[in-house]
Chains A and B, each alone.
Chain A
């Protein structure tokens, strides 16, 4: 967050400071409406982190896509596809966990690369290309499963159900470690965050992602392989979807072809609330972390105060607008 130190400009104009401002406001709200002290218990925060992790993993991949000037609407569907693939391979076909994980990552990445190729090579608009992938991947997930959820109950040829054991990986990912203090999915999320940070801030490819988002033509004329970079960002997003899909399957003990509907919008909202510009070229993975936490806490605070889902959704909508307006007004 080196922006904080940029000389000659008030610190309030730095994107990270503004994003942090929104998060702090939400935390203050939590301290105020603490539901008789529930907000001050670590368990609340741990559960919030667990609930937000799957979205956070999607948001990691989404950040790269958005910085490169694109958008990925297919993340929810690819999540579902990965989740049913993982369940099918491990629960029904009894694949060993490492192979199943690799296969899922392959499926997710293939979907992402496909969207990327449509954008970069066929010159389709990202919105259209990923919309097509969103529909296609959802269909594929339903076709693979025959429209059924993939769970421990395996349908036999005579129409009855037999129950099989859940592979240990499911239970482990759904568990908490470090004396019950943090969920494994949260650690998976943090790992994704770290890897994306390395990609965006430490690798040459990351610099190119920013350059392509900032000014595609100038980047191309400077020798940046624009098409390849675009494909890579969608590929990474696909990988993140696969990871999120597997986590989702483990948390639900099943692979649901209907899972993840609408998740793409949550992931985009998290990235944008952090302050990453939809115009591309600006933003960072840490801003996304702040966005993820802001939405996560908001949801948690409303739920511990027993605000009904109807009001929760309305309030979330209002607060998303407020946060974005806040960032705009000081620009």
Chain B
């Protein structure tokens, strides 16, 4: 048996009194994809940070090719061929592709940049990964999927033999993901070992050779992926058996709550173009309408446009509960009973510098005021009630956002919107980066809200979620609705076909 590329033995780590990792073993062979799975807060990121040289004080041993190593810095780990590709990409967006690839190790002669040779070299690297892009263009002009590949290319050019990918597909469209998987196959053939973190079941079985599951800082088990049935995997992750991932739910269709005719959102970057193009939509009380589509298809922009994120730039005829709505500002939307859970809680959902109570009451603060003066007791009461109802796990309501796991942060966002007592709930990928347990709770919440007569519009990047939760599904492609399906006639194939557009008539 060959020596593993990497062995992590008996890794332990505490933050203060908080024990986050306990005696974790992990090994990685060349040309292997090792999936690291586990709920949010299981300790995956900490383990990766130890490997990447972010944390230097840990227990246990890291062996590279059988030799013990101790990394004093991120740079040192990188020198030993360890590359961590983070969720937040670490490229400088305003610099060109080539400049990014050479950042920190520019080719110079007498401190003059050797531009021609760098460009040639950069093109060569990209060609090796079948990436055909202009290396002189700023990185920001490319979509996230391409940026990720540039980053992988950079890691490869640094002679990295161990690549850690932390939820790389969370921001990618389906074709982009497929392309990434192809790239991963290429990397495997080149003998690169990959540690791959993901929440998505399909990916685990699509690309994983072996799986290690972490739970509460402990390694629960490691197995070859084809020998590990999905049920067992889920049990390992959550520590309990989830019989059915999606709750049963029957539509409670009532009156039309939200109706949009010829709703159009102009593209802010391109004159004359639209991100949402004459969409017709009607959502009834107690109904979940799913809006499928690849990234950039306009499904997310549709929700944001209706809610007023883009202000009054949008056009079309919108009615809420039969009354016309033209204000298109978040404030007015909230007053009319609309709520929008955005797809990125860090940048548009939470206020990290405020505590749980302040975040929960932010959107409905007028209700907690008398003559402009805040009523702290009422605020605390409401936040406590919401956090109980949503099963929020926090040591205190004064806790800051950065102490909470992704799932709990999302619950705070949900609590904020539920506190506004919405009648129309717009959910833009509400389960992104949320662990399985919390996901299930969010699904149950949606079901419960439906029975209470709330109209829900759901945009999701995960197909099973859309298929199982929606009563009706609209599929969008390039800003237009290309297909409308009822629950019983919807299949993954039909949706994907429509989402890709009818042009590729295969």
Contact = CB atoms under 8 A, between A and B. Distances in A.
Interface in B378-432: 395-396, 398, 403, 416
Contacts of A215: 347-348, 350-353
B373 A214 contact: no
A328 interface: no
Contacts of A202: 373-374
Interface string B334-347: 11000010100001
A51 interface: no
Interface of A: 2, 6-8, 202-208, 210-211, 213-215, 217-225, 280-282
Contacts of B340: 221
Contacts of B372: 203-205
B360 to A, nearest CB: 11
Given A7-B396, A204-B366, A207-B374, A221 B353 contact: no
Contacts of A2: 398
Interface of B: 16, 307, 309, 330-331, 333-335, 340, 342, 347-354, 358, 362-363, 365-366, 369, 372-374, 395-396, 398, 403, 416
A21 B351 CA distance: 28
Contacts of B352: 214-215, 281
Contact of A221 (B309, B354, B374): B309
Please indicate which of the listed interface residues B366, B373, B416 has the most CB atoms of chain A within 10 Å of its own CB: B373
Nearest to A211: B351
A83 B93 CA distance: 47
Given A7-B396, A210-B354, A215-B352, A220 B347 contact: no
A218 B374 contact: no
Give 6 closest A-B pairs by Cβ, nearest first.
Answer: A281-B353, A214-B351, A214-B353, A222-B363, A223-B331, A223-B334
A207 to B, nearest CB: 6
A281 B330 CA distance: 21
Contacts of B395: 7-8
B362 A219 contact: yes
A2 to B, nearest CB: 8
Interface centre among A203, A219, A223 (most CB of B within 10 A): A223
B294 to A, nearest CB: 24
A7 B395 CA distance: 9
Contacts of B354: 210-211, 214, 281
Mostly, the A contact residues are helix
Given A8-B395, A210-B358, A219-B362, A204 B374 contact: yes
A245 B363 CA distance: 38
Contacts of A220: 330
Query: Which of A202, A210, A215 neighbours the largest number of chain B CB atoms within 10 Å of its CB?
Result: A215
B303 to A, nearest CB: 11
18 contacts: A8-B403, A202-B374, A210-B351, A211-B354, A211-B362, A214-B353, A215-B351, A217-B348, A218-B348, A219-B351, A221-B348, A221-B349, A222-B334, A222-B363, A222-B416, A224-B362, A281-B351, A281-B352
Given A204-B374, A218-B350, 11 more contacts: A8-B403, A203-B372, A203-B374, A214-B353, A219-B351, A220-B330, A222-B334, A222-B416, A280-B353, A281-B352, A281-B353
A219 B352 CA distance: 11
Contacts of A218: 347-351
B78 to A, nearest CB: 25
Interface centre among A203, A208, A221, A225 (most CB of B within 10 A): A221
Given A210-B358, A222-B416, A6 B398 contact: yes
Nearest to B369: A204
Contacts of A203: 372-374
Contact of B331 (A213, A225, A281): A225
A2 B362 CA distance: 20
Contact of B353 (A205, A210, A222): A210
Contacts of A219: 351, 362
B10 to A, nearest CB: 27
Contacts of A222: 330, 334, 362-363, 416
A228 B27 CA distance: 56
A226 B288 CA distance: 32
A5 B342 CA distance: 33
A222 to B, nearest CB: 4
A218 B345 CA distance: 8
B346 to A, nearest CB: 9
A235 to B, nearest CB: 16
B377 to A, nearest CB: 13
Contacts of B373: 202-204
A229 to B, nearest CB: 12
A322 to B, nearest CB: 25
A271 B207 CA distance: 53
